[in-house]
Structure 1
Amino acid sequence: MGIMGRRSWDESKRTWHIAGPAILTGVFQFSIGFVTVAFVGHLGELELAAVAVVQNVIEGFAYGILLGMGSALETLCGQAVGAGQLNMLGIYMQRSWVITGVTGLVLTPFYVFTSPILKLLHQSENISEIAGKYATWVIPQLFGYAMNFPLQKFFQAQSKVWVMTVIAGVVLAIHVLLNWIFVTKLGYGLEGAAIVGNVSWWLINLAQMVYLVSGFFPESWTGFSLLAFKSLTAFLKLSLASAIMLCLELWYYTAVIILVGCLKNPEVAVSAISICMNYQLWTLMIALGFTAAVSVRVSNELGAGHPKAAKFSVIVSVATSAFLGLIFMAAVLITRKQLPKFFSDQPEVVRETSKLAYLLGATMLINSIQPVLSGVAVGAGWQSLVAFINIGCYYLFGLPVGAVLGFKLKLNALGIWSGMLVGSLLQTVILLYITFKTKWQKEAMQAEERIRTWGGRMEPQSSS
């Protein structure tokens, strides 16, 4: 018991060393959009709904693809660090920049044609027009994501995360101040909110680049190299698998927003569910901190040839995140009537949001476990398998159930979200089963093979 307690404590410390700052970084960066919605919400119901649709549909679509593309680095960099082969990390990151940069260009038309896309999805005419204007103003944020995500994975793989946290915290404070000046005081409205968001994301990138080139990474960053353009095909395959896996999860929430937008009186329904999504995504940042931590821990231990340590890190991370999820669920249920007032002064929106609080609490609990299991998948390199599981649970089961409950049984937003929740629960149960049935010794051997195959012309390490 004493030995197990010490092992748990040691693993918990290692996990929190990465998860703590990763959580704060995620919360600070997510809060950039959260703050934007809070300021825009006081401009009017229509503006709130328009920005919510852009953030959840268009930006959510792009964010998912780019974050997924960047997540390939979690597998490769994490396993290379575990094996003691740091010299390829900078090259991996540059390859990822090439891929995410090109992907950003491919995604730009979605921002330019937001208005007709939303109308095609049967969204409200008024919401679509305003959303279209806002989306074109936030195109610089798209390329901010493309640069930021590979940088984040590079730092995380080496457990260099506190500087990212400080940068994100300082920029968030600047973001609040700039919104107050340009949106509230000077009255620049939606355009002002968009420009402030662009500035904030590029301030984060600028500060992180300064950190990268300041000599803190002598082994893993040796400057820009043409090697970044070699072996792009193999790198692209894992990037695409990572993107598909993550996108299928993030787009699930996008699909819910689209379905809700097809209801009668969509302004109130979209506003209510977007408020809930903002709270849910804010707490999801905490689970994603554990996702980053368990991904790094699993990939490091597999890369180092320690399968039992990898399995133990999974158990500790899942248990800790689930406990926090229970706390968040309780907090939401206790404060369900007060939470909506931060975003809206409209009594109808506040009332509708309060009714969804029970589903919000349950979603927070499930989403404290499910992303951590996805982090295990990224650390071990199972992205393709999880992508298939996501298709089945989310799109062949959860969304059809939600559509039936919402439209056929007239449960509206409540029914749509209930279907989503059932799909998430099914996916979580399947991932739990797979994770705890995994043969970790075999995973360690596959990690060794992956490092040899994708690590360039590196010699094997002399030590085990």
Structure 2
Amino acid sequence: MENNGETPLLVSKNVATNAHFTGDVEDIAPINGIKDFFYQFGVESKKLWYLAGPAIFTSVCQYSLGAITQTFAGHVGTLDLAAFSIENSVIAGFSLGIMVGMGSALETLCGQAFGAGQVDMLGIYMQRSWVILLVTGLIMSFLYIFATPILLLIGQTEAISHAAGKMALWMIPQLFAYAINYPQAKFLQAQSKIMVMASIAGVALVLHVFFSWLFMLKLGWGLWGGALVLNFSWWFMVVAQMIYILSGTCGRAWTGFSWAAFSNLWGFVKLSLASAVMLCLETWYFMALILFAGYLKNAEIAVDALSVCTNIVGWAVMIAIGFNAAISVRVSNELGAAHPRAAKFSIVVVVAFSILVGAILSLLLIIFRHQYPALFANSLEVQDAVYALTPLLALCLVINNIQPALSGVAIGAGWQAAIAYINIACYYIFGVPLGLTLGFAANWGVKGIWIGMLTGTVVQTIILIWICCRTNWDKEASMAEKRIQQWSGKKHVEGEQ
């Protein structure tokens, strides 16, 4: 294999004998000319969309569970909407960031191990992740129990804090569903078993819409009804995925529960924490938008308007998260199989599609800017505030469609720790202070906060693109091989054929 004089690849015999995992025995040939580029673009597009299509559908369905509950809460009352928005964005959002972040360590290890043909390790990795995330869930449950005093402490209004705190107590079962669901998802995703996840999520969404309407509006149960249905929907997905995994459909990837899941836990914890820091910094960044809006004058209207906008951004970002999942699988599988050129070219393809999809969504939002606010709130004040934020929302859709895809590259390559430092600098040292300065000191309100924080996202996205362009992908393939050997517990032999 050609390596252009860079770090020699360490290719295990698993790569040659398990080529069907990534679809190619050898790496893609060097691209020469436009015709070659478009041919390879078409080939890679098919591989990407085979993963991204079902992943996008799954992400949209799962996000829509909370978003639909929030939409129904907007038709119950402004306090109900504000309470659910704070609970969903601050309490559940904080927890979700940790759970998804720690689960992304599994994404790196499972994807690279599957690409190298070491399928038997996937079930062990998933069980280790379950242990770590369930313990994390027990710790995080105190955040739910003491949500009311925490929200009061950080300056939220008394009415919103008490209502959101009560909602948080009702949502503790969802926290433990997160702990089991995300390792399951990464386990299935690494094997490209995305269609089953999409099917389960689709059924859950249909049931969720009907029962949310029934309990929240028809029977008048309000937020209690929403919490009941939301918990049920998440646990439905967990149980359905578990039945699929235990049924034997995953072959050597699942051979049963094993005590090996409790070995090397501390090493797995450290890798999971690095992953959690990276993704939590991203998740909490936009969660902070809702929090800061709570300090503005007329806080209830500001929180409601911004929660509608972040709700829409969240739906759009679910498409990007589908790309995130797909590119993570593509990069990790190709690096695990020692295909550095294929890994690099897959990034070009996913960025191109991310920009295109973001632009289409922004255009649709602008076209229907007079109609969409009424779908999310009955209050004319809230609708007017959302309409005023539409230009900024449209720009946000484009930027936030590219950034998650690039984060998927980082997860697939195992760069979580390095990206965490970049996120701290771009988001919290630059973006947050700029947003607070524009929002409060310059008196621009919600627009100022959002503009400043969006600027931080733009800077982070530019840096990620620069890193992808400058990376030595031959060296990354070598590092993936070493990582697989380390976590499988097998000794690495250089030059093994």
Both proteins in one fold, TM over 0.5: yes
The residue correspondences of 1:434-445 to structure 2 (distance < 5 A) are 434-445=467-478
Q: Which residue of structure 2 aligns with residue 297 of structure 1?
A: 330
Pair 1:457-2:490 in alignment: yes
Partner of 1:403: 436
Give the Å deviation of 1:302: 0.5
CA 264–444 in structure 1, closer or farther in 2 if over 3 Å, else same: same
How many angstroms does 1:233 deviate by?
Answer: 1.2
Residue by residue over 1:379-404, the C-alpha shift from the partner in whole angstroms, topping out at 9 and shown as x without a partner, is: 00100110000000000011101101
Instruction: Give the conservation status (yes or no) of the 8 Å contact 2:482–2:492.
Output: no
Judged with a 3 Å threshold, the aligned counterparts in structure 2 of structure 1 residues 380 and 193 are, in CA distance, closer, same or farther, namely same
Say whether residues 1:426 and 2:459 are aligned partners.
Answer: yes
Deviation readout 1:178-198 (Å, 9 max, x if unpaired): 112111111111111101100
* 1:366 and 2:402 aligned: no
Q: SS of the counterpart of 1:47?
A: helix
Question: Does structure 1 residue 266 correspond to structure 2 residue 307?
Answer: no
1:251 aligns with 2:284: yes
Q: CA offset at residue 318 of structure 1? A: 0.8
Q: Give the whole-Å Cα distance in 1 for the aligned partners of 2:402 and 2:209.
A: 31
Equivalent of 2:362, from 329, 344, 361? 329
Q: 1:65 aligns with which of 84, 98, 106?
A: 98
Q: Is the 8 A contact 1:73 1:92 kept in 2?
A: yes
- Contact map agreement 1:66 1:100 (CA 8 A) in 2: yes
1:99-128 Cα offsets, whole Å, 9 max, x none, are: 100000010010111111111111111111
**5+ residue gaps in structure 2?**
1-33
Paired residues for 1:72-111 under 5 Å: 72-111=105-144
Within 5 Å, give how 1:186-225 maps onto structure 2.
186-225=219-258
Q: Which residue of structure 2 lines up, in the alignment, with residue 286 of structure 1? A: 319
For 1:331 and 1:436, the matched residues in 2 are separated by 31
Counterpart AA for 2:72: F
Partner of 2:339: 306
Change (3 A) 1:211 1:154: same
Instruction: Say whether the 8 Å CA contact 2:110–2:187 is kept in structure 1.
Output: yes
Q: 2: CA distance between counterparts of 1:218 and 1:95?
A: 19
Residue 151 of structure 1: aligned partner? 184
Deviation at 1:337, TM superposition (A): 2.1
1:319 to 2:352 alignment: yes
Pairwise CA distance, 1:463 = 8.7
Residues 19 and 458 (structure 1), Cα distance of their counterparts in 2 relative to 1, 3 Å cut: farther
In structure 2, distance between residues paired with 1:115 and 1:293: 38
SS, match of residue 369 in structure 1:
helix
Amino acid in the other structure paired with 2:94: F
Residue 4 of structure 1 deviates from its aligned partner by: 2.1
Q: How far apart are 1:461 and its partner, in Å?
A: 12
Q: Check whether the contact 1:73–1:153 (CA below 8 A) recurs between aligned residues.
A: yes
Deviations, residues 397-419 of structure 1 (Å, cap 9, x unaligned): 11101101111111110100001
- Spell out, residue by residue over 1:312-367, the C-alpha distance to the aligned partner (whole angstroms, 9 max, x if none): 00110111111111111111122122111111111100000111111111111001
| Equivalent residue runs for 1:231-246 within 5 Å | 231-246=264-279
Q: 1:201 to 1:351 in 2, by over 3 A?
A: same
Distance 1:248 1:156 in 2: 23
Structure-to-structure mapping, 1:342-353, within 5 angstroms:
342-353=375-386
Question: Could you say what the CA RMSD is over the residues aligned between the two structures, in angstroms?
Answer: 1.3
Give the whole-Å Cα distance in 2 for the aligned partners of 1:458 and 1:197.
46
- For 1:173, which of 206, 217, 225 is the aligned residue? 206
Q: For residue 397 of structure 1, what is the amino acid of its counterpart?
A: F
Shift of 1:82: 0.8
Q: Distance in 2 between matches of 1:99 and 1:389?
A: 26
Question: Given the alignment of the two structures, is residue 29 of structure 1 paired with residue 52 of structure 2, yes or no?
Answer: no
- Return closer, same or farther for 1:463/1:9 CA change in 2, 3 Å cut-off: farther
Aligned with 2:71 (options 33, 38, 42) = 38
Change in CA separation of 1:208 and 1:152 when aligned onto 2, cut-off 3 Å: same
**Which AA in structure 1 matches 2:421?**
F
Supply the distance in 2 between the matched residues of 1:176 and 1:80 (Cα, whole angstroms): 38
State the alpha-carbon separation in 2 of the partners of residues 274 and 286 from structure 1.
19
Q: Measure, in 1, the Cα distance between the counterparts of 2:223 and 2:401.
A: 33
C-alpha deviation, 1:459, in angstroms: 7.8
CA contact (8 A) 1:83 1:461 kept: no
Q: How far apart are the structure 2 equivalents of 1:47 and 1:121?
A: 20
Give the 3-state SS of the residue equivalent to 2:76 in structure 1: coil
Between the aligned partners of 1:463 and 1:310, the Cα distance in structure 2 is: 22
CA distance in 2, matches of 1:461, 1:105: 43
Shift of 1:3: 2.6
Q: Distance in 2 between matches of 1:289 and 1:210?
A: 23
Count residues in correspondence.
464
Cα 1:236–1:29, aligned 2, differ >3 Å: closer, same or farther?
Answer: same
How many angstroms apart in 2 are the aligned matches of 1:120 and 1:233?
34
Aligned residues of 2:73 and 2:81 also touching (Cα < 8 A): yes
Contact 1:68–1:239 (Cα < 8 Å) also in 2: yes
The 3-state SS of whatever aligns with 2:251 is: coil
Partner of 1:230: 263
- Runs of 4+ aligned residues of structure 1 deviating over 6 Å after TM superposition are 458-464
In the alignment, residue 201 of structure 2 is paired with which amino acid?
Answer: A
State the SS of the aligned residue for 2:401: coil
2:420 maps to what in 1? Answer: 387
| Conserved 8 A contact 2:358-2:397 | yes
Q: Aligned residue for 1:52?
A: 85
Runs (5+) with no aligned partner, structure 1: none
Distance 2:216 2:294 in 1: 26
**Aligned-partner Cα distance in 2 for 1:341–1:49:** 16
Shift of 1:458: 7.2
Cα pair 2:334 2:340 within 8 Å, conserved: yes
Residue 84 of structure 1 contacts residue 461 of structure 1 at CA under 8 Å; is this kept in 2?
A: no
Percent sequence identity is: 54
Question: Structure 2: how far apart are the matches of 1:129 and 1:195?
Answer: 18
